[in-house]
Amino acid sequence: MQLAQKGPWAAMRANKHLANGLNVANGKITYQAVADDLALPFEAPAQLS
């Protein structure tokens, strides 16, 4: 419901649990474990909005 009401970026800023579930956004890996496993750079979700 929060995603529909606020849009994805505002909803993730307001709800850390939504942000914690984000793996990829705007072509960037936003989940540290995924980036580590793939040996690719990590970018924090807060830096992408």
Nearest-angstrom CA–CA distance, 2 and 18: 9
Question: Which tens digit of pLDDT belongs to each residue from 8-43?
Answer: 889 988 998 988 889 998 899 999 999 999 999 999
Q: What is the pTM of this model?
A: 0.72
| CB contact at 8 A, 25 and 48 | yes
- Reported confidence tier of residue 47, pLDDT bands at 50, 70, 90: confident
Amino acid at 16: K
3-state secondary structure of 9: helix
Three-state DSSP state, 28: strand
